[in-house]
């Protein structure tokens, strides 16, 4: 009769390491490393700089950069040799059926909101620890303030970010926190968590803009299945000589977000 030997911790670790090696795709990892590096910088990087920052050889990355440029994921400025990300990845994300449907539902409500309030508004979603604007509607008035589609900010630095975070379950919050870059101090993260609970209780974020004087950010969740699929945000611009209608605008933002939420279908198979 053959006896079985119990697996030791070392055996288990070896097995896990083997599994890790089995599922590795070195060429793919190099390409992803390049994309993630360029996503986190504000200025173009040359091939030499990419090689140095990733700690790889010139030969390893030369063809990879060429392929990514040929496929439209990287671009170079005219007359320069530095690479930046194109908008191709963003476009792919925007073409996801659920994102496309969200935008289709949101735009008519955003147009109505802009017409009623004379203020611009935008919709933002979470991506890799940031909030990113995926749709916007200009103010119906001659004067207004708006942000561009594709605008990104870390969650901790934006009204949309705290709203997106506030209306998530604990496991999702933990995943998002692990993506934050730069990493906040423990004190800053604790303050952010506390504020998120306040926003969740109030149902809206209402705060002076961190970046533009005279603007109050009003942001409410667009819910799908009880969690925030997106945030509807109005950068409310105070205009000299006009009455302050911030309270009415905040209520209008909440109402518009609720109408969009009602139209979203919590169904993974929805087109």
CB-count burial class (<10 Å; 0-12, 13-18, 19+) for 32: exposed
With a pLDDT cut of 70, the percent of the chain lying above it is 87
Residue 271, pLDDT > 50, answer no
Architecture of the domain whose range is 92-263 = 2-Layer Sandwich (3.30)
Q: Which CATH class is domain 12-86?
A: mainly alpha
- Token readout for 267 is 């169904």
pLDDT tens digits, one per residue of 10-19? 455 454 544 5
Domain limits, the chain: 12-86, 92-263
What's the distance, CA 40 to chain centroid? 13
Question: Span 254-259, mean pLDDT?
Answer: 98
Question: Span 160-188, mean pLDDT?
Answer: 95
Predicted model pTM: 0.75
Contacts 24+ apart (CB under 8 A), 29-36: 30/56, 30/60, 30/61, 30/64, 31/64, 31/67, 31/68, 34/61, 34/64, 34/65, 34/68, 34/74, 35/68, 35/73, 35/85, 35/89
């Amino acid at each position: 009769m053959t006896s079985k030997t119990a697996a030791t911790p070392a055996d288990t670790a070896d097995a896990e390491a083997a599994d890790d090696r089995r599922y590795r795709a070195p060429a793919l990892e190099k390409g992803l490393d390049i994309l993630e590096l360029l996503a986190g910088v504000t200025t173009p990087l040359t091939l030499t700089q990419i090689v140095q920052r990733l700690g790889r050889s010139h030969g390893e990355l030369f063809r990879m950069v060429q392929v990514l440029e040929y496929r439209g994921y990287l671009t170079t400025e005219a007359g320069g040799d530095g690479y930046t990300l194109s908008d191709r990845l963003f476009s792919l994300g925007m073409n996801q059926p659920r994102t496309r449907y969200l935008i289709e539902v949101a735009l008519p409500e955003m147009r109505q909101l802009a017409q009623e309030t004379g203020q611009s508004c935008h919709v933002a979603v979470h991506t890799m620890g940031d909030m990113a604007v995926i749709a916007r509607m200009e103010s119906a008035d001659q004067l207004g303030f708006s942000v561009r589609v594709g605008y990104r900010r870390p969650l901790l630095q934006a009204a949309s970010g705290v709203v997106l975070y506030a209306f998530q379950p604990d496991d999702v919050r933990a995943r998002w926190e692990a993506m934050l870059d730069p990493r906040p101090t423990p004190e800053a993260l604790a303050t952010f968590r506390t504020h998120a609970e306040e926003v969740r209780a109030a149902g809206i974020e209402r705060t002076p803009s961190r970046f533009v004087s005279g603007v109050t950010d009003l942001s409410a969740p667009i819910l799908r299945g009880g969690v925030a699929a997106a945030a509807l945000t109005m950068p409310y611009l105070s205009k000299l000589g006009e009455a302050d209608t911030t309270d009415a605008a905040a209520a209008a933002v909440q109402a518009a977000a609720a109408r969009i939420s009602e139209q979203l279908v919590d169904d993974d198979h929805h087109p």
